[in-house]
A = this chain, B = another copy of it.
């Protein structure tokens, strides 16, 4: 293993000069720099990041803490984020330190990792309203970037326009004449679920429609939830059944498709379905039968900005300029159609 000193000795220079030459400082002579670079290359020099961090305070390691989410199925979402993030961080010469926390105490893993004193920052996902992790990291002055965003956000984040996409989705359904539009939402505390609900209520309100309590159903964004809550909604148990349903994710829509089939309703004849599509590879909206109308924003797309923001943050950029709210495309396919004639009366 060649060190800075080795190169210095080899060239009869001081370690200081070699360090500066390799780090592009302006005060080092052109000839010297060339010599040093050549020698470094030739001797296969790799800086030791530990030593670097010891003096500079940077290790290039970024933490990601996830909850096992015991109940539900293996979340393809996490898979997508982890692989994408690792890839994008690597391209910026950072690495992902992954931690699965089974602990009840949300903050415990963060404390543990921070104690080790080896991480430069954290990526957080799925924030909740007034998330304790965010407060904690802010107090300790640890750099972090959030995927998603909760209210009162004075930190770096990347989020999609959840409120807007919900509005757009509902507007599309309204334009098709639907009035009884339900929302199969994600888990109640999550900010993305709240934002989408707000957008849904915006659109419904603007159309002068009231939203009965049962029209919004919460739960984990998976197929089971779509099936059971879909069944409940379509059974007529709550009153006249919705003619259109906006789903928080494609797996939820898949469950809803099954429920509709079991009940004998045709899509889009009896029921229009629209969903938000995270574009995970194993659940492709085009392969639905009929093909699913969606608002689409690939989870993968989030990884690059997240990594870039982290990089900028570590370089000293202020968090408040590192905020992105990405717009979302609406792709109309075959799961949405005009309201059936007998279903035009609002709730």
Interface residues of A (CB under 8 A from B): 1, 46, 48-51, 53-54, 59-61, 66, 68, 70, 73-76, 78-80, 82-84, 86-87, 90, 95-100, 102, 109, 112-113, 115-118, 280-282
Contacts and interface: CB of A to CB of B under 8 A. Distances in A.
A74 B281 CA distance: 8
A80 B73 CA distance: 11
7 contacts: A1-B117, A46-B117, A66-B83, A73-B281, A74-B79, A79-B79, A95-B113
A289 B92 CA distance: 49
A70 B79 CA distance: 12
A116 to B, nearest CB: 5
Contacts of A116: 46, 49, 60, 95
Contact of A49 (B76, B117, B281): B117
* Pairs A-B, 4 closest by C-beta atoms: A73-B282, A83-B100, A86-B100, A74-B76
B99 A90 contact: yes
Contacts of A98: 82, 86, 96-98
A87 B59 CA distance: 23
Contact of A99 (B80, B96, B109): B96
Given A87-B102, A95-B116, A97-B61, A54 B50 contact: yes
A68 B96 CA distance: 15
Contacts of A100: 82-84, 86-87
Contacts of A51: 54
Contacts of A70: 281
Q: At the interface, is chain A mostly helix, strand, loop or mixed?
A: mixed
A113 B86 CA distance: 12
A223 B80 CA distance: 20
Nearest to A69: B83
A281 to B, nearest CB: 7
A289 to B, nearest CB: 16
Contacts of A82: 82, 98, 100
A48 B117 contact: yes
Nearest to A80: B74
A134 to B, nearest CB: 22
A78 B100 CA distance: 13
A79 to B, nearest CB: 4
A276 B78 CA distance: 26
A67 B75 CA distance: 18
Contact of A68 (B61, B83, B95): B83
B46 A50 contact: no
A252 to B, nearest CB: 16
A21 to B, nearest CB: 20
B95 A46 contact: no
Most chain-B CB neighbours within 10 Å: which of A50, A61, A112? A50
A200 B66 CA distance: 40
A293 B46 CA distance: 54
A307 to B, nearest CB: 13
A102 to B, nearest CB: 6
